[in-house]
Amino acid sequence: MADTTVSPAQPEGLRLTRTLRIGRIEPGSVEEARLRELWEARPGWRGWLSTVDHKTIGLRYLVTAFVFLLAGGIEALLMRVQLARPNATLLTPEQYNQLFTMHGVTMIFLYALPVLSGFSNYLWPLILGARDMAFPRLNAFSYWVFVFAGLFLYASFPLGEAPNAGWFNYAPLSGLEYDTGPNIDVYALGMVLLGISTTVGSINFVVTLLRMRAPGMSLDRMPVLVWGTLTASCANLLAVPSVSLAFFMLWLDRRVGTHFFDVLNGGRPLLWQHLFWIFAHPWVYAVVLPAMGIVSDALPVFCRRPLVGYGPVALSTVATMLVGFVVWIHHMFATGIPALALSFFGAASMVISVPSAVATFAWIATIWTGRPVMRVPFLFFAGFVFLFVVGGVSGVMTAAVPFDWQLTDTYFVVAHLHYVLLGINVFPVIGGIYFWFPKFTGRMMSERLGKIGFWVMFIGFNVAFFPMHIAGLLGMPRRIYTYPADMGWNTVNLVTSLGSFVFVFAFGVLIFLVDLLYSVRRGAIAGDNPWDAPTLEWSVSSPPPPYNFAVLPFVASRHPLWEGRLGEETAGEAPRRRSRLDEGFLLGEGREALGTTALEGQPDVILKMPGDSYAPFWLGLFAMLVFAGLVLRAELFTAAMLLACAITIVVWLWPERALLQREPQTVSETGD
């Protein structure tokens, strides 16, 4: 091992200079054992509750999101039984309203984004060449709040008081004069609680991207998955406050006596739609862009070439979200908004298809110019491209104002919504699980079962949801729990219900789950890089060690594991530098990570990372109990839980003994 002195200018004497070793650590060595001891969680239930390891949190996100996916799927199947034949009586109108609302809440808020957060939590530090997320305890807190928010919402089901005004929850129908029970209060406060999880998680992703990349990983060398999650996280920081404010104002109207949405007392019901959709439309892209990033990074691996048009795809990711903030009114074309506004937002809704088309052409060109290998992940990614085009085209159709006036409250929009939020999300997610499952577990999933499951799901998905377009064109309205026999909708509803049962859920998802559960224990041993992929996460063992990287690698290209075959060069540098993955900064004086500059990714600061803590779990639990007290109107209980939250925050922030003896240290590389 060689010693290298790193000695930048010290800002006003507040930071220390430290001599760091640059070299390598051999597996099984004393140094490696020391790192493992520093980063590994405690065994047993104590470690389970207190861990802040991003890999454990990422897997928990994935598992929990899939549990909610199954719950939302069961709710959908019950509704499809009700709608399979006319004049059915399986569900009462109130039961249907609760199922319909919770299905939307579950699939959109409790599954679609959290499952992508699971991928990003697990993969980001590995892809970026870091040891953990920027704020490990905040990461754990984000997960626990997500879990408790879901439990908070679902606890209303056994009491028969689940949210019942639709996932869009339009005022004034969600006001106290139309719904006197606690149903809407549960939804309003549950969404505020869930917004806390989303916000702190987004902050963590943004700071991790800006300060935790491997040395040499400039912005133009980041994987597209990172661009997708970064863009979604920035959007969440702007959009989530809008919907949290809307739900809080609604709760105030219902329980305090304000009149934000009460037209008889000077309120504006249309204000609800503006606040809700200025959040909900960017949210659509927040649950799509990271999924598109999964495809953009994993699809080229099976085409045996880099992604065509990396730069345009990264720019289109950002452009999609920017334009996404100016199209929310296309959900409100039928509300009497002036024609000039309709023209502007209709045009913006069509323009947003341009950056999406850029990504689509990049994927097709990558397949066309590559040498595709028909493995299971590739099939799911290719199926996603087809569904993406179908969902995108139907979305552009509804951007035409006269067309939207005819179909805005019909099943045509339901079909579009499912292609966008389910097809464009679920297929990349399952493909991503097949792709990164070897990294998660060290084992491979079954190719045979995977291919059977793909074709059953792909055919079944289109059988289930494409006929909804036809039902909408035939005039079937959304949000009805039954219909007369003479409306001409019998056949399309029966086909949709059969597709949902026989293919999408009962067989397709079941095959995937059987394959998943079997492969965890009995799958073939994978090796470190079974797909011959080019990114940093495949440079470490499978599954990764607790510390991720024994030495922090140096990156000199976009595809560090493919440099030998691609001959990638770093612009402006001669002679060419190679990425060095087996030697780099050796940080072992406690739980340490390396901070780098925001743009170029140059070493900048040594970060002392916090250890495991119970505080995130308890703070999440107490926060949920605060909201439960508000629903139950138990003032003393609510005050007690607020005090418990304050005490937990103090415990959380109390400095660790080891950190009290150290000062922040700045580093910069002077030579290697």
Q: Domain locations in the chain?
A: 618-653
Token pair in block for residue 508: 């397709």
Higher-scoring residue by pLDDT: 224, 17: 224
- In the predicted structure, residue 669 carries a pLDDT above the cut 50: no
pLDDT at 10 (0 to 100)? 36
- In the predicted structure, residue 413 carries a pLDDT above the cut 90: yes
- In the predicted structure, residue 230 carries a pLDDT above the cut 80: yes
The per-residue DSSP string of 313-345 comes to HHHHHHHHHHHHTT-GGGG-GGG---HHHHHHH
CB proximity list for 319: less than 8 A, separation 6 or greater: 354, 355
pLDDT at 48 (0 to 100)? 92
pLDDT at 505 (0 to 100)? 62
The CA distance from 272 to 169, in Å, is 9
The CA distance from 611 to 590, in Å, is 10
pLDDT 10s digits, 424-458: 899 999 999 999 999 999 999 999 999 999 999 99
Taking alpha carbons only, the member of 73, 78, 80 closest to residue 107 is: 73
- In the predicted structure, residue 16 carries a pLDDT above the cut 70: no
The residue-averaged pLDDT of 552-570 equals 79
> pLDDT tier at 21 (50, 70, 90 boundaries)?
low
pLDDT at 44 (0 to 100)? 87
> pLDDT tier at 7 (50, 70, 90 boundaries)?
very low
- In the predicted structure, residue 14 carries a pLDDT above the cut 70: no
Q: In whole angstroms, what separates CA 317 from the centre of its chain?
A: 15
The CA distance from 380 to 605, in Å, is 41
> pLDDT tier at 410 (50, 70, 90 boundaries)?
very high
Higher-scoring residue by pLDDT: 432, 591: 432
For residues 40 and 78, the answer to whether their CB atoms sit within 8 Å is no
The CA distance from 42 to 51, in Å, is 8
> pLDDT tier at 667 (50, 70, 90 boundaries)?
low
According to DSSP, residue 567 is labeled -
pLDDT at 311 (0 to 100)? 94
Lowest mean pLDDT among 23-27, 144-148, 192-196, 410-414: 23-27
- In the predicted structure, residue 660 carries a pLDDT above the cut 50: no
What is the share, in percent, of the chain residues with pLDDT greater than 70?
A: 92
pLDDT 10s digits, 452-490: 999 999 998 899 899 999 999 999 999 899 999 999 899
The CA distance from 401 to 422, in Å, is 25
pLDDT at 23 (0 to 100)? 67
- In the predicted structure, residue 281 carries a pLDDT above the cut 60: yes
Angle CA 418–423–428, to nearest 5: 150
The CA distance from 561 to 225, in Å, is 17
For residues 22 and 672, the answer to whether their CB atoms sit within 8 Å is yes
pLDDT at 5 (0 to 100)? 37
Query: Which residue stretches of 408-483 are H helix?
Result: 411-418, 424-441, 447-473
Query: Which residue stretches of 85-135 are H helix?
Result: 93-105, 113-128
For residues 209 and 226, the answer to whether their CB atoms sit within 8 Å is yes
Q: Beta strands 580-586 and 592-596: pairing type? A: unpaired
Angle CA 507–511–512, to nearest 5: 125
> pLDDT tier at 658 (50, 70, 90 boundaries)?
low
For residues 540 and 528, the answer to whether their CB atoms sit within 8 Å is yes
- Helix H or strand E segment including 236: helix 224-255
Taking alpha carbons only, the member of 283, 232, 247 closest to residue 149 is: 247
For residues 47 and 41, the answer to whether their CB atoms sit within 8 Å is yes
For residues 199 and 240, the answer to whether their CB atoms sit within 8 Å is yes
- In the predicted structure, residue 494 carries a pLDDT above the cut 80: yes
Euclidean distance between the first and final Cα of the chain, in Å? 12
Taking alpha carbons only, the member of 372, 355, 364 closest to residue 308 is: 364
Taking alpha carbons only, the member of 392, 390, 350, 367 closest to residue 303 is: 367
> pLDDT tier at 600 (50, 70, 90 boundaries)?
confident
pLDDT at 567 (0 to 100)? 64
- In the predicted structure, residue 111 carries a pLDDT above the cut 60: yes
C-alpha distance from residue 539 to each of 129, 161, 223, 303, 557 (Å) = 10, 50, 15, 20, 14
Backbone angles phi, psi at 15, to 5 degrees: -120, 155
The CA distance from 31 to 586, in Å, is 9
pLDDT at 18 (0 to 100)? 52
Radius of gyration of the chain (CA): 26
Higher-scoring residue by pLDDT: 226, 21: 226
Higher-scoring residue by pLDDT: 672, 622: 622
Lowest mean pLDDT among 43-57, 94-108, 309-323, 594-608: 594-608
- In the predicted structure, residue 180 carries a pLDDT above the cut 80: yes
pLDDT at 221 (0 to 100)? 92
- In the predicted structure, residue 573 carries a pLDDT above the cut 50: no
The CA distance from 195 to 244, in Å, is 6
The CA distance from 363 to 309, in Å, is 9
- In the predicted structure, residue 13 carries a pLDDT above the cut 70: no
Lowest mean pLDDT among 135-149, 152-166, 532-546, 569-583: 569-583
Whether cis (ω within 30° of 0) applies to the bond prior to 27 is no
Burial of residue 70, with CB atoms counted within 10 A of its CB: 0-12 exposed, 13-18 middle, 19 or more buried: middle
- In the predicted structure, residue 518 carries a pLDDT above the cut 50: yes
> pLDDT tier at 599 (50, 70, 90 boundaries)?
confident
- Mean pLDDT of the residues in the chain: 88
pLDDT at 4 (0 to 100)? 37
Taking alpha carbons only, the member of 245, 169, 167, 233 closest to residue 197 is: 233
For residues 4 and 668, the answer to whether their CB atoms sit within 8 Å is no
- Give the Cβ contact number of residue 256 at 10 Å: 8
pTM of the model: 0.93
> pLDDT tier at 541 (50, 70, 90 boundaries)?
very high
pLDDT 10s digits, 293-328: 999 999 999 999 999 999 999 999 999 999 999 999
- In the predicted structure, residue 589 carries a pLDDT above the cut 80: no
Q: Is the dihedral of CA 62, 63, 66, 72 positive or negative?
A: negative
- Give the Cβ contact number of residue 245 at 10 Å: 15
The residue-averaged pLDDT of 102-107 equals 94
C-alpha distance from residue 228 to each of 119, 233, 512 (Å) = 12, 9, 26
Query: Which residue stretches of 503-656 are H helix?
Result: 510-522, 563-566, 615-632, 635-653
Token pair in block for residue 7: 């000695």
